[in-house]
Amino acid sequence: MDSPAEPYASLRYFVLSHPSPHVAHVEINRADKLNAFHEAMWLEMGSVFRALSHDPEVRAVVLSGRGGKGFCAGLDVKAAAEGDMLGSSGGGKGKMDAARTSQKLRRHIGEFQGSVGEIERCDKPVIALLHGISFGLAIDIACCADIRLAVADAKFSVKEVDIGLAADIGSLARLPKVVGSSSWVREVCLTARIFGAEEAQRVGFVSRVCETKEKGLEAATALAGLISEKSPVAVMGTKEILKHSRDHSVDDNLRYTSVWNSAMLQSSDVQVALLSGIQKKKPRFEKL
């Protein structure tokens, strides 16, 4: 059961399949360039995850990179330079002044941030499998996922200081909230040093290290399959409330939870789950 989903058949830079019921597998499809991103790719990724968020057939998502060398090598710097992503400065003929250049860049960065952020905003849990080269933008993308698994060969780096900029797509905002050690986060962000899968697991960036990419995909798909068997109402609510708790106080989150569940507890899923436990049979939940 590994055929492309019909609504996503026109994708150019991503491949989408269904390895098991209610599970979508999204693969970054630019292996010849180590899955490095340019503008059309991140816009397409945003569209993919917006669609998955609203797809009633999907309850969990696996995200990986095609090819054997890497999940994602980050931003395609050559494509960015050729596309004038960095803008132009000065007031000479054919050039924008500093204010207009800044406004252009601000909008461009915001669009980029928004596209990557669709992974985090997706109503369905996203499991990222990181392997091989996972630099720069790979960290931004991974931080947006709900669960991160790594292959033993994974090599990570918050690479942006090596190309002369502060990471601006989400690593500096999210990584300190993913990993408990502020010292470690600052070390890897300020030095751009490469760290491996074992270190990533030790600090809590990933929850599991798999021996090979194949075993990693099996583990990620199994996790997604297990999640997809749960109430989609409960899963969506759990993701939403956990996301809210990251950025709010305990009291604020408890109030938010009470409002959320005042609506969601009216779902038939609660009765279905309770009855299945009593009757010792597998529950079947309606699409969301």
**Of all residues in the chain, what percent carry a pLDDT higher than 70?**
93
Q: What is the pLDDT of residue 89?
A: 47
pLDDT tens per residue across span 38-69: 999 999 999 999 999 999 999 999 999 999 99
CB atoms closer than 10 angstroms to residue 91: 9
User: Looking at the domain covering 6-228, what would its CATH class be?
Assistant: alpha beta
**Where exactly are the structural domains of the chain?**
6-228, 232-279
Tokens at 250, concatenated: 């305990």
Same fold, 6-228 and 232-279: no
Q: What is the pLDDT of residue 7?
A: 63
pLDDT at 2 over 60: no
23 falls in which pLDDT band (50, 70, 90)?
very high
pLDDT at 177 over 70: yes
pLDDT at 27 over 50: yes
Tokens at 259, concatenated: 């409002």
Q: What is the pLDDT of residue 277?
A: 79
Q: What is the pLDDT of residue 53?
A: 97
Tokens at 67, concatenated: 């090819």
Tokens at 231, concatenated: 């109430």
- For the chain, the average pLDDT equals 92
Q: What is the 3-state secondary structure (H, E, C) of 211-235?
A: CCHHHHHHHHHHHHHHHHCCCHHHH
**Burial zone of 153 (CB within 10 Å; 0-12 exposed, 13-18 middle, 19+ buried):** buried
Residue with tokens 């090599």: 155
pLDDT tens per residue across span 229-268: 999 999 999 999 999 999 999 999 999 999 999 999 999 9
Q: What is the mean pLDDT of residues 132-138?
A: 97
Backbone phi, psi, residue 53, to 5°: -60, -35
Q: What is the pLDDT of residue 5?
A: 47
**Of all residues in the chain, what percent carry a pLDDT higher than 90?**
81
Backbone phi, psi, residue 14, to 5°: -135, 150
pLDDT at 125 over 50: yes
Any idea which fold 232-279 has?
A: Lyase 2-enoyl-coa Hydratase; Chain  A, domain 2 (1.10.12)
Task: Give helix 98-121 / helix 137-144 axis angle, nearest 10°.
Answer: 40
Q: What is the pLDDT of residue 84?
A: 60
CB 7 within 8 Å of CB 56:
no
Q: What is the mean pLDDT of residues 204-222?
A: 98
Q: What is the pLDDT of residue 186?
A: 98
Distances (CA, A) of 115 to 23, 46, 123, 260: 22, 4, 15, 26
The identity of residue 224, as a single letter, is A
- SS3 (DSSP) at 5: coil
Q: What is the pLDDT of residue 276?
A: 82
Nearest to 26 by CA among 197, 220, 176: 220
Task: Give helix 171-178 / helix 137-144 axis angle, nearest 10°.
Answer: 50
pLDDT tens per residue across span 79-97: 777 766 655 444 445 677 8
